[in-house]
A and B are shown apart, each in its own frame.
Chain A
């Protein structure tokens, strides 16, 4: 069974002081200025510089998580987030802080609007800087294909954060909104499908693991058993049988030759 990566553990992994310092020292531009425009290289690079850079795995996990969190966020749904979120997220807020805030149970219970804003902020970054994020994910995976082994766990973490967003919207009755209700419902249904897919992937991975263990084990056991049985085979039985048969054939041939000579003698004796 694969060890699941929990949000809290994930956050503690990425929120190292060095990264925090790095994030603090960078000065990202306000989100509002870049959200609707083409990807701003400066903005994206600045925000991404706050991502873990001390090891491949946490860096990959962070980029992948960011990518996953923007899934199914249609323009209509983004408009719902803008309406129901509290737009006070600082543009230069470090991504780690934003994720921590969303995952904080007290905060999301007390202020669902804030959770919506934080998620909107994350989605905005992921969509604005999508080429950079995707590029990072691809290059890290190309460097080490094993990084993708954690994709299911990352998708589960992203799903948790997305579920927080959906629940927050429902608590604010956004699903009953005449304008945005449909988008919010569609997003909630998409979450169900994503959960199904992730659960199946996880189940399939568990089955894969069982398969690999049992097939390898069986293969080894059967190979050993075959070798043992084959080695115990009496190799002389066939040889003995063939020799016996040859001997009997020789005797038969000698007898036939004798009889032929006798026949010939009988024939010649008449002359």
Chain B
């Protein structure tokens, strides 16, 4: 009896260890599909402004590979890696497939956005992951898509958990019919100051993406302080995450709840199971027309992005990058475009500049369309689809083995329970056990052991199937990645050569056709009440101080800063203006009338987590409630002068 009992314990333990295998399930639709309504674009961007740029990791520089593999393993998303060897081919295959699949699936989002937005208004921006000077990872755009003004950028990565042993579990995976998209959507911080420009982010990336936004804000302010109208191009948020760069807290709200103003929408980490029919048809001749990600994710994400563009102030979002682009061929005009003006000479010159930028935008959009065509519709796309199909077959094999494993485990458990009950029954009867009964119990235990060992075997086979595939696929992954990079590099080289030529010709045309500006933008001093430092003003100057429209930046020693767009006098804000107070936490913005550098009158206040409100200010302090019907002044809309005065008089009178 003792021998039988110990056998039973062994079988029971085996069953527990083998456990039930997961069949790598996923949800059929992303939450971005469920919470998005099919919205039409309601905003119109100025000529030369791109509405959306889709950014994704397209290539890992050879010098950065080791660092990338290590960071990929160290910073697993959605679980804890049981073991990780950055040098193993399986892990490298998973890490490389993140880049390869991001390349491919980003095109699905591009296609959906391009279908919803006007022609030439969506661009692709593939990034190279590189080593920065300090040895950390960074990413840089491979094309010039981000050199133009844009309203939003969308970072897309299709993620896979860095542990091949957990491919069949609940951990995130992009393999076969499973996709785990990681997304962030951001605009320029001038249009979303409290969230550092961040509008939406996948939950695991959110705080790092906000940190990345904060770093871009700092870099942009540094540039402005040095007199350069350069808006920083942030690295991919996925890279920021891998780097474990500093996080930044911003107000956020889950996607499942109603959106709030000045709050980042948080997308849950999801493992999406693509439509089986679509996956099955990936091997067909017309497979290029099949987009399995569309109905599960891309279409809804495109709707979400259009919704965000509709809610974004397009001028604030694009003004700095547009000024930066204009500064490359017209320094005198560039800073003036931030606020604009009514003078005929300015209007005329700005119109010419916009037309030039529009030509550049159209030219670069050809590159994006051809990148899509070259990768998606060519042999390259067919190979990726074949790979997805092969992965799907591998997954299906493993699912089948998992089901068999579960059946075997169930049998083993059933056998163990039955044997246990029989033994217990015999013990209770206190009678001797007959030979026949002993044989039956032995046979039951033997069958249980066999079922348990089969369960082990299926589990082991499942792992082998996954491991064999990942090990074998490395050369194919390298080949496909290499072709993708060749396509991007070649497209960029051809585009860049002709782009320089086009830019030169456009600039000649621009110069030939220009009339002089009566008032030009220069650089001079900008001050702010309470600050001992002097900032930089780019715009209209008089006697070395800000005097007219432009932008002023003042960075304090404690990391805070003031960024001001609008009108100034004697080096201080005076007239309609938009002021962003950059704080360590809770940056906020005021838009209204300023007197001698202080908020004065009805101000539109933009703060984290709450909708914009109108508040009355006097000498920089809140001074009471705002009368009904009052509006704030704005440097970006220029109503006739008498209307501004009337509105201001009314609000001031009410305040008194």
Contacts and interface: CB of A to CB of B under 8 A. Distances in A.
B494 A235 contact: no
A225 B359 contact: no
Contacts of B390: 238, 242, 245
Interface string B348-361: 10011001101100
Contact of A263 (B348, B450, B509): B450
Interface stretch (A10-18, A24-32, A54-62, A207-215): A207-215
Contact of A218 (B359, B468, B474, B495): B495
A196 B501 CA distance: 27
Given A226-B370, A229-B374, A242-B472, A210 B513 contact: no
B498 A217 contact: yes
Contacts of A235: 379, 383
Interface residues of B, number: 62
Interface string A188-223: 000000001001100110110011001101110111
A240 to B, nearest CB: 8
Nearest to B468: A248
B348 A200 contact: yes
Contact of B473 (A196, A199, A229, A245): A245
Contacts of B471: 245, 248
Contacts of B498: 214, 217-218, 221
A215 to B, nearest CB: 5
Indicate the member of A225, A226, A249 with the most B CB atoms within 10 Å: A226
A253 B370 CA distance: 45
Interface stretch (B25-33, B225-233, B484-492, B538-546): B484-492
Nearest to B352: A203
Interface residues of A, number: 46
A215 B367 contact: no
Contacts of B465: 245, 249, 252
A230 B476 contact: no
A222 B446 contact: no
B464 A252 contact: yes
A256 interface: yes
Interface SS, A side? helix
B609 to A, nearest CB: 45
B387 interface: yes
Nearest to B381: A230
Interface of A: 196, 199-200, 203-204, 206-207, 210-211, 214-215, 217-219, 221-223, 225-227, 229-231, 233-235, 237-238, 240-242, 244-245, 248-249, 252-253, 256, 259-260, 263-264, 267-268, 270-271
Interface of B: 344, 348, 351-352, 355-356, 358-359, 362-363, 366-367, 370, 373-374, 378-380, 383, 386-387, 390, 394, 397, 439, 442-443, 446, 449-450, 453-454, 457-458, 460-461, 464-465, 468-469, 471-476, 479-480, 483, 486-487, 490-491, 494-495, 498, 501-502, 505-506, 509, 513
